[in-house]
Structure 1
Amino acid sequence: MAGHSALECLLTAVLLFGVVTIVRWIAGPSPISDAIPQIHLKLLITGLSVGLLLVGLIRSRPGRISGGHISPAVSLAMWRLGVFPGVSVLPYIVAQLVGSVLGVLAARALLGPVVGNPPVLDAALQPGVGWSASGLFLAEAVSTGVIIYLVGLFLRSPKLALLVPWLVGFLIGAAIALLGTTTGGSENPARQFGPAVLSGRLGFLWVYLQAPMVGVAIAAAVLNRAHRRHAVLTHRLCGTHADGSALRGAR
């Protein structure tokens, strides 16, 4: 399982490197940013780009082996849904958080000082003006819980499970596009951890770390209670077995 945790670290590092790179060119000083002055269009392009990146990472060979969680919230949810060993949750979470930091450091090294300066600021998120910690907590918990609930439903069917990477990409992309100016649209503690720590924007970090975990715990409990007769078939978000073979045995 140590090898799987290492793969989760790698996948999360690639995700964060990609996120910072996308934000650097879409939101930061660049010809692309200058050509797209509307913030909502920028968020739409950012969401589409991050969503496609997630699809690729989940469907990649490392993603198929480790499960392609790339988020502490997903690892917790898969454990609570009964398809991921509890002993592996903490190693996965640590690996994902370390990968988050490494991904941002790699972006800094390759893209230069512009990554750490405004408006990029290591792609760290902040809620919109007027948002309280309690409001942000509720929004992040609910939005992440909804995502996990839908993922859990899809992972109960061999046919639908194959669509989970695209479902995750679409839902995360939509969250970025729709919630970017309000909550930031994180939905993933690892998404915010590295950027916040390295940029020093720690004010709401505890919310971005804890709220998704609460949301997925509630969503998993509701799924387990409402769909007892149809168990989740795998912890791998690619919707297959580790070797890529199709799932069998749906009831």
Structure 2
Amino acid sequence: MATVFTLVHWGIGSTPPDASANEMRLRVAAVSILVGLIIVGFATSPPGRFSGAHMNPAITLGMFAAGHLPARRVLPYLAAQTAGSIAAAALLRVAWGPSVSEGPARWAVVQPGPGWTGAHVSAAEAMTLLIIVGLMCWMTTCRPRWRAAWVVGGLFGLQGALLGTTTGGSANPARQLGPALFSGELGLLAVYLVAPVAGGVLAGWAAHRLRQARNVRRPGAEGRHPAAADRRDLRPNSQVAPIRREAYDRDTPLRHPQIPSRWSPSAAIDSGDPGDAGSRSRRGARRAGMFGTDVRDRPHLAWGAEVER
């Protein structure tokens, strides 16, 4: 947080009074990109991996509302974020002297642009965290092959570059708390504290309800891992019966929970087709040997046949 305040102090606070609007936008965009890279660097560093890289109370409460964060970790995270913001603002004063209380970005406090009221800032801040936390919940549940640190850091950098000259581009209650207390700019402090949290909690609550509704439509999914709850329900039914097959070498049994009875690699081998079916069976036997002979709990290890719902 102290690094972020330093970037704001030297990147925006050093802007000359006669600077044009385009110059100010460029400075804000450059600082926002650097802030996004700082988020990525901390999230991928050993301390970030160890702590969970929670630097934003809105994300902490949003992930708790989504059911992805245990309650015992919420208060320690919030206390550390609050103390870190205040300590970083004090460290800024110690490091750079009286100059931090001068200029357009004194104490690195966030201020809205001309014509932007508290209602406008509230809507923008809440919508920003609604999108970011919603995407984080989706990534936690569906686990795409994305680098989450780069996605989240890029989104925060993008929102700062787009909204920095209008709403201030805070999107983090902890980022505004310390500078506002030291600078005395308390007019919109409640807006910057409450609006991001409201957007994050709303996104987390909506993600939690959607996951519950999806689990209700899929009997047996409740109580499983979120990623496993999204897989197909592979329980036997009247249309698809479990088939017990022998591996190609007839030594290792390979059980598959359900494969349509219209096809089986064993039948293809017995019918005199030693080609593709045999190679598929050998590959399947080796694959089953890696994870055990029972793949009922691992639908992604299924054979190439289409599994009916």
TM-score (norm 1): 0.79
Distance apart, 1:224 and its partner CA = 1.9
% identical equivalent positions:
40
Aligned to 1:214: 198
Q: In the aligned structure 1, how far is the partner of 2:226 from the partner of 2:25?
A: 36
Pairing 1:132–2:117 present:
yes
How far the C-alpha of 1:30 sits from its partner, in A, is 7.4
Residues 1:48 and 2:33 aligned together: yes
Q: Distance in 1 between matches of 2:11 and 2:117?
A: 27
Residue number among 155, 170, 182 corresponding to 1:171 in the alignment: 155
Aligned to 2:210: 226
- Displacement after TM superposition at 1:206 (Å): 0.4
Q: How many residues align?
A: 219
The CA deviation at 1:148 is 0.7
**Amino acid paired to 2:109:** A
Deviation at 1:187, TM superposition (A): 0.9
Q: Is 1:120 aligned to residue 95 of structure 2? A: no
Alpha-carbon distance in structure 2 between the residues aligned to 1:56 and 1:132: 34
Which letter does structure 2 place at the counterpart of 1:153? W
Q: Secondary structure at the match of 1:186?
A: coil
The residue type equivalent to 1:177 in the other structure is A
Report what 2:53 is aligned to. Answer: 68
- Alpha-carbon separation, structure 1, partners of 2:115 and 2:3: 29
Residues of 1 paired with 2:299 and 2:30: CA distance? 37
Q: Which sections of structure 2, spanning at least 5 residues, go unmatched?
A: 216-224, 228-297, 301-309
1:6 alignment counterpart: none
Give per-residue Cα distances to partners, 1:73-131, cap 9 Å, x unaligned: 11101211212122321221121011001111112211222112122311101111222
Structure 1, unaligned stretches of length 5 or more? 1-15, 234-248
Contact 2:37 2:153 survives alignment (8 Å): yes
1:194-237, Cα deviation, whole Å (9 max, x unpaired):
1111111111000111111110111112212334458667xxxx
Match of 2:180 among 196, 199, 208: 196
The equivalent position to 1:38 in structure 2, one of 15, 23, 30, is 23
Deviation at 1:37, TM superposition (A): 6.7
Q: Deviations over 1:150-172 (max 9, x none)?
A: 11112224443x51110111111
CA RMSD of aligned residues (A): 2.6
Contact 2:15 2:24 in 1 (8 A): no
Post-superposition shift, 1:63?
Answer: 1.2
TM-score if structure 2 supplies the norm length?
A: 0.65
CA shift in 2, pair 1:196/1:48, >3 Å = same
Partner in structure 1 of residue 6 of structure 2: 21
The answer (yes or no) to whether the contact 2:14–2:103 under 8 Å persists in 1 is: no
- Higher normalized contact order (CA 8 Å, seq sep 6+, divided by chain length): 1
Distance 1:30 1:182, change over 3 A: closer
Cα separation, 2, equivalents of 1:127 and 1:26? 17
Q: Which of the residues 73, 87, 94 maps onto 2:79?
A: 94
Residue 203 of structure 1 aligns with an amino acid whose one-letter code is G
> Corresponding residue for 1:106?
91
Distance 1:72 1:232, change over 3 A: farther
CA contact (8 A) 1:100 1:194 kept: yes
1:57 aligns with 2:42: yes
Larger of the two Rg values belongs to structure: 2
